[in-house]
């Protein structure tokens, strides 16, 4: 796995396609690695004529870890957020956005279509707002503006995230636990088969595990707070994609994101949860391709896609 120096730290990355083609920068979410972008999604973008760049965010995968900053207390961070006390994160979403731009800079990419999922969508929003000259278009998937008052995870999703494996030191136990989590937050209309999910989770765990990194990334999100003012500054054509059945980042969060970004277009997928199921790859590719080629009219009125 190639490593580059971005924003002063090591970032693991991978490219696919012809470097002469139009670049697409993929930014993944909380605790997830670059391999969380499905291979058929990446291959589909290449077939559509894009040069695809994906990378491990700081504190995840094979990129630099921030263990020296310690593992934050999430209950304490949550309490501080409630009473609006300042947080002291190991880094911010702005730092992670700068990492993304650093990846582009090292690879000699002047501008790119930026696609982010979940926390990656938040980072992509910051990239589009802070570095407008580097962004051809923005696609924010299952993400949020961070505005106070938006709904949080369902009780089941929150419980799944907070529980721990029966035996954290046993690989099979960890895989079983993570599969359970993904089943809870995944797409009810497009379930991932157990065998396929187990292979995917086992591959991720074998590649890298960074529990402390997940906690530090969560605090970075909390410290970012309400990004509405930042979203108002985004000038790039923006597409917001959100699942109507997302139990982790509810649909209202995607709707609010589309309202905050001038001229954003909102696409709602019925039955989609907080994942990228194989059954929806073709639909996602079609949306991103049309968006990148300017074939979508700006409109924050939701357009719903239902399972055929």
* Residue pair 29/117 in contact by the 8 Å Cβ criterion: yes
Predicted pLDDT of residue 303: 67
Question: For position 276, which CATH number holds?
Answer: 3.40.50.1820
**Closest-CA residue to 65 (of 124, 14, 9):** 9
Please check the confidence at residue 82 and state whether its pLDDT lies above 90.
no
Predicted pLDDT of residue 88: 87
- The number of folded domains in the chain is 1
In a domain, 50, yes or no: yes
In a domain, 187, yes or no: no
Predicted pLDDT of residue 298: 65
Predicted TM-score (pTM) of the model is 0.94
What is the b/e burial string over 109-135, where b = at least 16 CB atoms within 10 angstroms of the residue's CB? Answer: bebbbbbbbbbbbbbbbbbbbbbeebb
In a domain, 171, yes or no: no
Residue 52 CA: distances (Å) to CA of 14, 45, 265, 295: 8, 7, 23, 20
Which residues fall within 8 angstroms of residue 59, CB to CB, at 6 or more apart? 65, 66, 90, 91, 210, 212, 213, 214, 216, 217
In a domain, 185, yes or no: no
Predicted pLDDT of residue 306: 65
What average pLDDT does range 148-160 have in this prediction?
A: 92
In a domain, 283, yes or no: yes
CB atoms closer than 10 angstroms to residue 100: 28
- DSSP summary character for residue 36: G
In a domain, 198, yes or no: no
Q: Where residue 87 falls among pLDDT bands split at 50, 70, 90?
A: confident
Q: Which domain holds residue 150?
A: 3-154+211-305
Predicted pLDDT of residue 78: 73
In a domain, 7, yes or no: yes
In a domain, 42, yes or no: yes
Q: How large a percentage of the chain has pLDDT more than 70? A: 95
Please check the confidence at residue 113 and state whether its pLDDT lies above 80.
yes
Q: Where residue 302 falls among pLDDT bands split at 50, 70, 90?
A: low
Helix axes 119-130, 93-106, angle to 10 degrees: 70
Q: Where residue 290 falls among pLDDT bands split at 50, 70, 90?
A: very high
Please check the confidence at residue 305 and state whether its pLDDT lies above 90.
no
Please check the confidence at residue 175 and state whether its pLDDT lies above 70.
yes
Of 65-69, 74-78, 273-277, least confident by mean pLDDT is 74-78
Please check the confidence at residue 98 and state whether its pLDDT lies above 90.
yes
Please check the confidence at residue 308 and state whether its pLDDT lies above 60.
no
What average pLDDT does range 217-240 have in this prediction?
A: 95
């Amino acid at each position: 796995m190639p490593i580059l120096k971005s924003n002063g730290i090591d970032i693991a990355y991978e490219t696919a396609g012809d470097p002469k083609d139009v670049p697409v920068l993929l930014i993944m979410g909380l605790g997830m690695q670059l391999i969380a972008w499905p291979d058929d999604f990446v291959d589909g973008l290449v077939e559509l004529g894009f040069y695809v760049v994906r990378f491990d965010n700081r504190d995840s995968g094979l990129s630099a870890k921030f263990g020296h900053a310690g593992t934050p207390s999430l209950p304490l961070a949550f309490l501080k957020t409630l009473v609006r006390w300042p947080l002291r994160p190991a880094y911010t979403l702005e730092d992670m956005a700068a990492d993304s731009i650093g990846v582009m800079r090292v690879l000699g990419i002047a501008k790119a279509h930026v696609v982010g999922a979940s926390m990656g969508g938040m980072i992509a929003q910051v990239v589009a707002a802070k570095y407008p000259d580097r962004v051809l278009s923005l696609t924010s998937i299952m993400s949020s503006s961070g505005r106070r008052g938006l709904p949080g995870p369902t009780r089941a999703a929150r419980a799944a995230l907070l529980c721990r494996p029966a035996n954290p030191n046993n690989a099979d136990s960890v895989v079983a636990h993570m599969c359970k989590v993904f089943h809870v937050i995944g797409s009810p209309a497009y379930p991932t088969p157990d065998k396929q999910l187990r292979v995917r989770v086992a591959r991720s765990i074998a590649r890298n595990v960074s529990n402390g990194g997940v906690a530090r990334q969560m605090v970075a999100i909390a410290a970012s707070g309400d990004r509405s003012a930042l979203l108002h500054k985004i000038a790039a054509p923006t597409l917001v994609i959100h699942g109507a059945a997302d139990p982790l980042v509810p649909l209202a969060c995607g709707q609010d994101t589309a309202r905050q970004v001038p001229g954003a277009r909102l696409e709602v997928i019925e039955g989609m949860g907080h994942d990228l199921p194989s059954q929806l790859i073709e639909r996602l590719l079609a949306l991103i391709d049309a968006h990148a080629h300017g074939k979508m009219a700006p409109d924050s009125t939701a357009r719903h896609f239902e399972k055929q």
